[in-house]
Amino acid sequence: MKIVLCIKQVPDTSDIKWTENNTIQREGLESIINPYDVYAMEAALKLKRSYNNIEITALTMGPSQAEDMLKKAISVGVDNAILLTDRKFAAADTYATGKTIGTAIKTKIPDFDLVICGQFAIDGDTAQTGPSIANTLNISQVTYVQEILSYDTDSITVRRELEDGTEIVKVKLPALICVLKDYFEPTRAKINGIIKAQNTEIKTFGFEDLGLAAEEVGLKGSPTYVSKAFRPAAKDTQCQYCSTVEELAEKIKLCGGLNG
Amino acid sequence: MAKEILIYAEVTRDNYIHTVFFELANKARELAEKLENAEVNALLISKRGLAADYREAFVNSGITKIYTAEGENFETYNTDYFAKAAVDVIQEIKPEILLIGATNQGRDLAPRISTALHTGLTADCTGLDINEKGQLAATRPTFGGQLMATILCKNLPQMATVRPKVFKPAEQNFVKPAEIIYKEINLENTPKNVELLEFQRKLTSEINELDSAEIIIAGGRGMKNEAGFNLLKEFADKIGAAVGASRVAVEMGLASHEMQVGQTGKTVTPKLYIACGISGAIQHTIGMDKSEKIIAINSDANAPIFEIADYGIVGDAFEILPKLIATGLSK
């Protein structure tokens, strides 16, 4: 089985600093692998540990620095890596991103069986790119996957965690799944893995390699655009501090309409 | 022809219309006034007869028409069939705007529709407006809630998803029932590749606990371990509260994803929100800052949670919670 693992480098949103002009200070902002993509990667590696003949290709679209993330993926057990990088790809919305990544999969890994994505990326938090890739590839999708239960030549069975309960679904391959979270210990790189990462060539493709028109990628290929960005208004509340637990209990009783 | 704003009327597993539909319809009628009095209509994909059965219920949304694709193929949600039906109807009626609830189903379906129609989709909007050029101006938090962005769309329909409880349903009564327009969908060339083998329903007490709770007591990094969350649960039981969590607490394995409040979790609006050991990063507060009253318990006097709290106490939740439990507060 050939797995395409879609991963994304994101800024560490827990560590954002502001400039005097109320814009996000991007310099020195640390990049991390999107946490949900780590779950996606672990789901792929778990399959590889459980079944024979599983080949995982990690794929990302981003600046050349994203190579570091791909090397890390190889060091923990991913087999190949593809970087889609081009100035023309920049500022793509989820539609253009889905189209670019979908086209890359179609043309560079046409015999893929399964695409695995994280459910969200913590920077944009749209949960749209996975389904958009699936639509471009004209394959079915399963979102909110918590665990891959089994793999059988032409299908996989997965567990979905939804608002109202848990679903077990079987999906015919090729398909795309979006992974929410699994309970796991992250795979650590072993020395062999690190050596392999150093020796594995990251295949890099640009705009010219995908056969798309300039109007189909990046900012030009994006139906949506940001008209303004601003810092959310701070709530104007004055906190009244309690000095004792009794005082606090009184406030809880009052606000919550409680007895006692 | 009048312009149309179309609202996806999500059908739940029990064949109810999801409440988010009524919230979106109410907001849409406000948008329609700024859009040459556009018509607000519903798209319903369901088992046979649901549109007719719910004609009365739909009156409360104030919509004009219900476009419905119905039949045995639509008895339970599946992405391939529902996306095909939605795309066919939308291509025919060409609405200006399409709004979908940002539920599990909505977030699964919406990007399939937008990609197939080569149009844009703005996820999880917290504000919707019509700008001076008559475009949908969709505002949403991004960068973990630390930045708000207003997004426009070049193509039609302009699509947006909105979470439940962001907008309010209409309070006034409408009288005119909607006109039902039936649409036949040809699924001959649409494969159904996903098969539901089993569904295990959550207990009623687990569903929507956060959505309907009057009091929520939520824990973050400061609750440290399972014992910390057990303290929360014990106090919550006494005062009839639901237990919520920050993203960090979920990532630490202390709480399930369903309990998560904030940008990648739920938006909640209880009467009282008690934040224990939660620092108050914007990605969390964006999901709870519309609570009527907020009480913060945190050992760090500089934690940003105090900036949005009405009442607070600086101290260790591990010492404070047992004392609160001992006060005998009850529902």
Output the DSSP codes for A125-156. Answer: ----HHHHHHHHHT-EEEEEEEEEEEEETTEE
Considering chain B, what is the average pLDDT of its residues?
A: 92
Q: Which neighbouring-strand residues pair with A9? A: A33
Is B124 found in the same domain as B57?
yes
Tell me the residue type at B265: G
Q: Are A44 and A56 in contact (CB under 8 A)?
A: yes
In a domain, B58, yes or no: yes
Q: How many CA atoms lie within 13 A of A143 on its CB side?
A: 27
Q: Does B290 have pLDDT greater than 90? A: no
Instruction: Locate the DSSP E strands across A77-223.
Output: 80-84, 114-118, 140-152, 155-162, 165-172, 175-179, 203-205
Is B114 found in the same domain as B10?
yes
**Per-residue model confidence as pLDDT tens digits over A55-105:** 999 999 999 999 999 999 999 999 999 999 999 999 899 999 999 999 999
d(CA B52, CA B68): 10
Q: How many CB atoms lie within 10 A of CB B71?
A: 18
Q: Does B40 have pLDDT greater than 70? A: yes
Q: Are B43 and B18 in contact (CB under 8 A)?
A: no
Chain A contacts in chain B segment 10-49 (CB below 8 A): 12-13
Tell me the residue type at B143: F
In a domain, B42, yes or no: yes
Q: Are A82 and A205 in contact (CB under 8 A)?
A: yes
Give this prediction's pTM.
0.86
Is B115 found in the same domain as B64?
yes
B contact test, residue of A10, A12, A13 with most B CBs within 10 A: A13
Radius of gyration of chain B (CA): 22
Domain limits for position B142: 4-182
Task: Please tell me the predicted confidence (pLDDT) of residue B226.
Answer: 94
Of B281, B296, B327, the CB nearest to A249: B327
B contact test, residue of A39, A95, A122, A259 with most B CBs within 10 A: A95
Of A169, A228, A232, the CB nearest to B195: A169
Least confident of A108-117, A148-157, A211-220, B56-65: B56-65
CATH number at B40 reads: 3.40.50.620
Helix (H) or strand (E) holding A44: helix A35-50
A252 interaction partners in chain B (CB closer than 8 Å): 239, 272, 274, 295, 324, 329
Say if the Cβ atoms of B199 and A237 lie within 8 Å.
no
Task: Please tell me the predicted confidence (pLDDT) of residue A183.
Answer: 60
In a domain, B121, yes or no: yes
CA nearest to B110, candidates B196, B17, B8: B8
CA nearest to A133, candidates A98, A177, A109: A98
Q: Are B265 and B248 in contact (CB under 8 A)?
A: no
CA A198 to chain B, closest CA, distance in angstroms equals 31
Please calculate the CA angle A14-A176-B139 and round it to the nearest 5 degrees.
45
In a domain, B188, yes or no: no
Q: How many CB atoms lie within 10 A of CB B227?
A: 10
- B310 → chain A, closest CA residue: A239
d(CA A191, CA A196): 9
A20: confidence class by pLDDT, cuts 50, 70, 90: low
A15: confidence class by pLDDT, cuts 50, 70, 90: low
B129 touches chain A (CB under 8 A): no
In a domain, B200, yes or no: no
- B156 → chain A, closest CA residue: A223
In a domain, B256, yes or no: yes
Task: Please tell me the predicted confidence (pLDDT) of residue A50.
Answer: 94
In a domain, B87, yes or no: yes
B132 touches chain A (CB under 8 A): no
Of A120, A235, A257, the CB nearest to B264: A120
Q: Which CATH architecture has domain A2-227?
A: 3-Layer(aba) Sandwich (3.40)
Is B258 found in the same domain as B166?
no
B330 touches chain A (CB under 8 A): yes
Least confident of B102-106, B255-259, B297-301: B255-259
CATH number at B311 reads: 3.40.50.1220
**Per-residue model confidence as pLDDT tens digits over A144-168:** 999 999 999 899 999 998 988 999 9
Where along chain A do its domains lie?
Answer: 2-227
Extract the tokens encoding B144: 């973990």
Is B177 found in the same domain as B218?
no
Q: Which neighbouring-strand residues pair with B295? A: B274, B311
Mean pLDDT of the A186-197 span: 88
d(CA B248, CA B9): 34
**Per-residue model confidence as pLDDT tens digits over B115-159:** 999 999 999 999 999 999 999 999 998 877 778 899 999 999 999
B206: confidence class by pLDDT, cuts 50, 70, 90: low
Is B157 found in the same domain as B221?
no
Is B216 found in the same domain as B164?
no
Report in angstroms the alpha-carbon separations of B281 from A11, B278, B302, B304.
16, 8, 12, 7
B238 contact partners, CB below 8 Å, separation of at least 6: B325, B329, B330, B331
B152 contact partners, CB below 8 Å, separation of at least 6: A224, A225, A227, B131, B135, B136, B137, B138, B158
B149 interaction partners in chain A (CB closer than 8 Å): 226, 228-229
Q: Are B238 and B330 in contact (CB under 8 A)?
A: yes
Is B146 found in the same domain as B275?
no
Residues of chain A with pLDDT > 70: what percent? 91
A19: confidence class by pLDDT, cuts 50, 70, 90: low
Extract the tokens encoding A96: 């253009």
d(CA B163, CA B250): 20
Is B145 found in the same domain as B79?
yes
d(CA B220, CA B105): 28
Q: How many CA atoms lie within 13 A of B217 on its CB side?
A: 24
Please calculate the CA angle A90-A93-A99 and round it to the nearest 5 degrees.
90
**Residue-wise burial string across A53-88, b where 16 or more C-beta atoms lie within 10 A, e elsewhere:** ebebbbbbbbeeebbebbbbbbbbbbbbbbbbbbeb
CA B55 to chain A, closest CA, distance in angstroms equals 25
Instruction: Report which listed range, B166-175, B176-185, B249-258, is most confident.
Output: B176-185
Q: How many CA atoms lie within 13 A of A135 on its CB side?
A: 28
Domain total of chain B: 2
Is B167 found in the same domain as B254?
no
Give B116 or B264, the one with higher predicted confidence.
B116
Is B29 found in the same domain as B171?
yes
Burial of A29 by CB count in 10 Å (0-12 exposed, 13-18 middle, 19+ buried)? middle
A170 contact partners, CB below 8 Å, separation of at least 6: A155, A156, A157, B194, B195, B197
B200 interaction partners in chain A (CB closer than 8 Å): 165-167
Q: How many CB atoms lie within 10 A of CB B201?
A: 12
Is B163 found in the same domain as B35?
yes
- Cis amide bond preceding B169, omega within 30: no
